[in-house]
Every structure is written in C-alpha cells, then in structure tokens.
Structure 1
C-alpha cells in the first residue's frame, strides 16, 4: 500500500484518505438524520476506530461532539444529557441508546469516495468543537466547552511540547473520551504521526507493540507506570525505539519512574494539564526533572497567587497556580460555574505549588477537594450523594488518600444508623457510578467531623484514616 498509514487497530490499518472517506460517509448519514451546524452530538463509544471517524464526521458538519465516558452508569449519563442537551447521539453503548435515539457505530457506513484527507471543511474557530466532563466540587460533573480555536491551540502546544513529528509512532491505551486520549488522537492525526489505538489497556500488549511497532513515544499515567516498574519480565522486551515515556494526569512518583529507567534505560517526560486547559506545562525532552511538572509551554502564561489575598506572589512563594492561554476553555455548562474557575482570563487550577526563578513548576497540594483517580476527577459530593441514599447511612464524607497505583484512592467515612455493611456500601457506589468512583474501602466512624458551618473537616479524616487500604 503506497498510502501512509495513519491509524492501526488490532490487524486493521487505515490511511488518512480512508479515514476521510469514512468520516465523509458518516457525516452524510448524520446530515440525513438532521445533524446541523451548531448542534451538539453525544458520543459514547468504546476504544475503536469508529470513535475517531465519528469525531471527524461531527466536526465536518460544524457540530460539537459531547464525549460521554463508556464507564458511566445510567444516572451519570442522564445528568450529562441534562447539562449539555445534545440533539443527536452516536455510539455503541446501550445506556445512551436507551435514553435517546442513537446511530450505532456498528451500522455500516458508505465511504464518501474522494473526500479530501484531513479534518475536512474549516469550521468556525469560535464555535464549540468538543465538550468533555470535569467534576466540580458541588458534586455533579460539569461540561468543559472547547471551541475549535482553543482545542487547536492545545493540539499545537502538545505537538510542540512533545517534539512530535510525522516520523514518530505512538499508541493509545487510555480512554479517548478523556481529554488526554482525545488530545493524543487528534495531535497524532494532524501531525502525521503513526498511531495504534488499543481496545483496552493490556500491559503485555502495550510492551509487545512497543517492540514490534517500534513505538517512539509512550504515554503513561500512574497505574501504567507502576505496572511497568513491577513487571517481572520488563527487561525481556526491546524498548530501544522509545525516545521517552510521558507521565501525565498525576504527579510523578519518583521511585517508580526511576525503577523503570534503571531497568529499561528509557527516561520520562512529566507534563501537566487539565480538561479546562489541556497543556499547561511540560518538561524539556532533554533534561527532564522528576521533581517538577516542567515549565509553562510556549503559549501559556503562569502565575501563583496567595491563598489568603488572591494577589500574585513572587518566585518560590507558595500559592494557587493560575494559567492563561489561547487553549483555555470557553466555559462550563452549567454556565454559572465558569465564574469561579476563571478570573480576569486566568484559569484557577485549584493546584497549590510554587514556580521558581527558572520557571520550574512544583505542585504540592490541591486547594479543591477533588480526588484524582487514574487521571479522572472524582467529586466527593457525588459519591456522598449515593451513600446518603442508603438507609443505614446517617452521615458520610469521602476523601482521597495517596495511592501508588492510581494516584489517589477513595475512602468513605460513614457514620451509620445502627448496623452498616461496608462491603454493601462499596457495592452500592459501584452499581450507581463509574468503577473509578467506587471507594477502595468504607470506614465506620461515630460521627463526621465538621465545622459549625457544616463544612467537613476532610483533613482530620485523612489524618485518622489516611492509609489507602487495610493492612
């Protein structure tokens, strides 16, 4: 085949022109079903090439894609539909199909032969391109709105930060409905980088394909890094094609990263971003440091403000990290949530840390109460709302504790009415919410410590019950 391969899934190869043909065919079908420019289209899909085609097709029509996690349960999907009000749906998940008419990705698509390769017609830069969900401290997820202009800026920042070119080869095992997965996919396709998409994460398959596909850039989150470090046969794989492994979503665990490097000779490049501003900092490709999230990428401006006064502080002083960039989201849905997150054009990350005179960022804490599990944001209040629905729960509070595998683990403190079964409560959350929101354990306590205002003293709970799991 003379055409350059753009995407590989299992044994199937797709060229850029074929992807364009498929996107054109799906766009024509969506148009027949009434999708118009400016509308929102829900997409709830497993990891598969049709996800990529669907995103491209929706953008060709000038519509916005709303990404629903395939891990969500019915209540989470219902909330997301209520917040974003998509007019149409595409996917392969039965929950979405039960709640609104859905074009199933298994339905055959007639390619639009001769469609131009690439992203298709130029959309309005100011129009919404993608909505992804990021939980808020109020407990229910918010939709993050990115325009074509802001997401294109993020793609440009990511490509430049990683020094990604058409000579690179990458693979994606993380969910494409997460901002990092989508960013990797779009950046690779627009850069001409060879891309393998995996159906799910499988460590052995990931290592095998680094070797056989000669992958040059590997993307990792904490659980992948830990799995690499503890793999008993890691040295048996030829990883010499890797330029580096990117660590994102959670702060680097230095001991884990150093173990992998010692065993493989491959170094790490830590990076830092958020759904609201996808690429904030990245380490240099040469000379990366494990104790820093890196420096601001070109196009992003950072500052640190005092937690007490909100005024900017000097180099080395601790406060909240704030960022400004063309890649900043257009806002949240519900819209009223935006005011607390963006002040005079500065995005409030909720992360506490400092920036030294050389521009190196070090993150030390979070001012928000979000729990970050495997790169996914979990709002304590969302889990608490489920627990409060159980008749044996008088009061409860959910908090995160450090976990080497997942970044953080979820612990629920429950003050019960009489007898309460911790395993039953864990199962309840698992039945109602995505699996990554399920507590690692439930601890029964006499009462939940609160301020007179009613605010939960989560720090007290962390001090008392701060281990990730029972010994």
Structure 2
C-alpha cells in the first residue's frame, strides 16, 4: 500500500525504487520513471502555487509532466476535451481563470477563440521548460487541489469539478486495507490507457498505474485496431475501457491478441450479457465494473470479478461500495428509503470533490454534508448491491461521454426554423446511448440542415444521431419537458432505463 498521498511524492518514490523502469509509452516516445520525475520537477519550477494550468490536446508525455508538475508546485491542471468547439474551450479557459494554455497545434482553430490567455504550443514545450528557475519547487499537500475537470451541467454550462490529491489514492488504499483485489496493480503489470485524460476515468486510471510504478501504454487517441496491436506488442495485462470501446476491440480481426489481458475494468455504462460472454470466450480474463462520477473522484462502486457470470443475479447491478465509501438511496426530501425502494443514489467517499470551482450555489446543491447527490435513481438489495434504474437528471452517456439535453436544446433554439425541441438518450448497441432530438418546426428544414447548423456549435459526440419532427413537445403545466413520455417508446421493454 502506498504511503504517499500526493502525486508528486508518489512519483518521486517510484523513481527511487524503479529509476530505469519504463513509466509510459505514448506516441512512439518512451519515458522512464527517473526521466518523468526529472521533467516533472522542471515543470513545477516554472509554475506558481494556486494557478490554473489548462491543457488542450491529445495524450502525450507532456500532459503527465504537467500533471505531476502541478502536484509539486501546488498548481491545478485543467485538462480540456480536444473535441470541443472553440466557444466551449473559451468558456472553460475563462471560467477556470487559467494563466496559461498548453495546446497541440491540431487544436489551433479552437485556440483562436481564446485570445486573452498566453499559449504554449506543445511543439515548443521543451523550450518553455528550459526557462525553469533554479531551486526546489514548493510541495503541495494531500488536501490541496491538483486537477479541475469540467463536466456539463443541466444548464448547459460546464462546471469545474475540483479534485484533491488525496482522492486519487483513496480507493486503492481502502481495497488494500480490506485485502480485496477487485482492482489491483502488480509489479509486472503493463496498463493500457485508452480513455483520454480529460475524463476522470482516464486520468484516474493513468494515475493509478503511474503511482504504482508499472509501465503505462498511453494512446494519444483511442482507435480499436491500434489498441489491439498495442496490447499484443507491449504485453498489456490490464486496461480500463467503456463497453463501446471493448466491443470495437473484439470486432478487430486480430482480437485474439487480447488474450494476454488478465483484467479488464470498464465503466460509463453496464456490459450486456452478450458482450460479457463474448469477452470471456475471446479474452478469458477477469472483468470488473466501476461506477462513479467526476464529483466522486471517479469510482465509488464496483461489481467485482466474482460477480461477472453470464446469467448471474448480480449482472444487472452497478456493484457495491468500496470499503470506506458509504451509499444511501434517498427520497426527494433527502431521507433514506427502505431496501428495495427506488430513490436517488447518494455517495460519501474520501475521494469526493472539493467543490465546483467558483460556484458555491451548485456546490451546496450537489455536495451535502460530505455526500454527493449523484442524480441517478436506483435501489439497493439486502446485501448492499446498488441497481440503477434511471436518471434523476437528464444526462445522456454516449460511449462514456456525458451529454446534457439542455445544452443541445439551447443550440437548436438558435436555428430560425425551430419553434421547440426536446432531446433524450435512446438505446444504441454500439455507443450505449444515442442522442435523439424531437423538433417542432415553424418553417421547413431538414435533418441534414440542422446537423450542419449544430456542427459549428457543439462537439461531434453531442450531435443528435436522429431527428424526429413532431407537432408538439409534451410538457407539464409548469412548462417542463416530459422526457419520460418521450423516452417510453424506446425504453419500455428494458428493465434498466439507462444503457
């Protein structure tokens, strides 16, 4: 079990124990632990305590040097989804108050909309580090913030979830103390990181590997064929994916190369029994499902490998809380409900967020006496397994990406032909869920025209896959969209109202 409780201290300890061991392989570049430690120190000496440092680009060693450098300097890394539009990027940079934006040249078009923040292009990163002053950086503590990830809100404006250093160690520490190997990292493991670092799932998974001292094969961007090749070439033994990624990997002609994996951790959506059976047949490894939010510092609940039995009674469950994590199902007044009764899932974890950056009202609404209100509806059984039924909030999850209807509806409202709209998530075998838009027109327009209109406003994964033209949008007397009515035709034959 790790004694360190900051990213910077953990990296220093791993560099001392395994200096020449490969820490990461990314985009054809290999970096040892002692090299990552040294370069992170140089980064830290260029930063100031408390400042926000934004990163816009695909995965690279520079990203991780910045992450560990921020940990040592007491700065906060703000990773930004490189698939967002320029306007979306500009909002995050402005909201975070970032003093510098590190960017990939491939994101130049988006960067053009961020005129007031100094930019360091990643092809000039080495030159930027060369200006590091002498002296040791100021070390931050376990309770200090280290990352600020933006998650879409029901208002459509992303909120900055501030995460502390301690949270990245909480789950592993609790599992080790309880002697459980639901998730584990062994000295000879090689980890594949395919989920991007601007997601809490990708960031958390990469940190677990790097602070464990193992080799991490990090993909600049996920591609299923490349993932299968990397697993075989580097002897990858563990990985974390969303089911949509796993399905694509199993569809590859050389999927048999995945047989070297000993454990697959997945999240973002449940796994179908067909996909589970196929994975067990082709790969033959253990699987573990994780559930949590950015606000809970990633995983707070796990369905362990022992429960992954096709046809098993627990396969419909999200799992049960880790030791040290509390879960309650509560009614609309915030009172716990009996076992088996559906309500909102509340979680209290040592990895919970510190706050929503600059948004005390939203923080007070979501973080109550140390509990995070997940917005998910579900129930627990008499053994503490939680089963998710629906979302109290309206979020859609497309291949692990969080999408909120209000943001899309707001963008659609800007089209002159649209009188009203409503957006829901519908089941999709490939991506888990797909965005479906109901549209009321006041003048003629086609689905293609609407898609073209939205392309310049929203990231591609937020675009509706289907448009349905209707006469009216069902609403209650106060004007709220009756999404459950719209969803019913797509979800009526499914036990679980999330996919």
Per the alignment, in what secondary structure is the counterpart of residue 311 of structure 1? coil
Which residue number corresponds to residue 96 of structure 1?
111
- 1:54 is aligned to 66
Q: In 1, Cα distance between the equivalents of 2:42 and 2:80?
A: 23
1:16 to 33, 36, 48: 33
Report SS of the residue matched to 2:62.
Answer: helix
Query: CA 1:47 to 1:195, structure 2 compared with 1: closer, same or farther past 3 Å?
Result: same
Q: What is the distance in 1 between the residues matched to 2:468 and 2:95?
A: 33
Match of 2:268 in 1: 249
| Structure 1 length-normalised TM | 0.90
**CA shift digits 1:160-219 (9 cap, x unpaired):** 641113221111122111111111111111011210011221212211222222211122
Match of 1:82 in 2: 94
> Which residue matches 1:116?
none
Q: Which piece of structure 1 moves more, 66-75 or 53-62?
A: 53-62
**Partner of 2:446 in structure 1?**
421
> Normalising by the residue count of structure 2, what TM-score does the alignment of the two structures yield?
0.85
Verify the 8 A CA contact 1:158 1:187 in the aligned structure 2: no
Q: Secondary structure at the match of 2:299?
A: coil
2:395 to 370, 385, 408: 370
Q: In 1, are the aligned partners of 2:48 and 2:75 still within 8 Å (CA)?
A: yes
Does residue 122 of structure 2 align to residue 105 of structure 1? yes
Distance 2:453 2:182 in 1: 42
How far 1:261 moved relative to its partner?
Answer: 1.4
Select which of 292, 306, 317 maps to 2:341. 317
**Corresponding residue for residue 285 of structure 2:** 266
1: CA distance between counterparts of 2:101 and 2:166?
Answer: 24
Query: In the alignment, is residue 399 of structure 1 matched against residue 435 of structure 2?
Result: no
Cα separation, 2, equivalents of 1:70 and 1:21: 27
The total of aligned residue pairs comes to 454
Is the CA contact 2:87–2:113 (under 8 Å) kept in the aligned structure 1? Answer: no
Is 1:147 the counterpart of 2:171? The answer is no
Distance 1:181 1:363 in 2: 23
- In structure 1, runs of 5+ residues without a counterpart are 113-118
Partner of residue 115, structure 1: none
Aligned twin of 2:54: 42
SS at match of 2:315: coil
Is 1:199 paired with 2:227?
no
Report 1:114-129 matches (<5 A): 122-129=139-146
Change (3 A) 1:394 1:320: same
Q: Match for 2:75 among 63, 74, 79?
A: 63
1:331–1:338 CA contact under 8 A, matched in 2: yes
1:283 matched to 2:307? The reply is: no
* Mean CA deviation greater in 13-22 or 285-294: 285-294
Asked whether the 8 Å contact 2:19–2:34 carries over to 1, the reply is no
Residue 381 and residue 214 in structure 1: after superposition, are their counterparts in 2 closer, same or farther (change >3 A)? same
Aligned to 2:205: 184
Cross-structure match for 1:240: 259
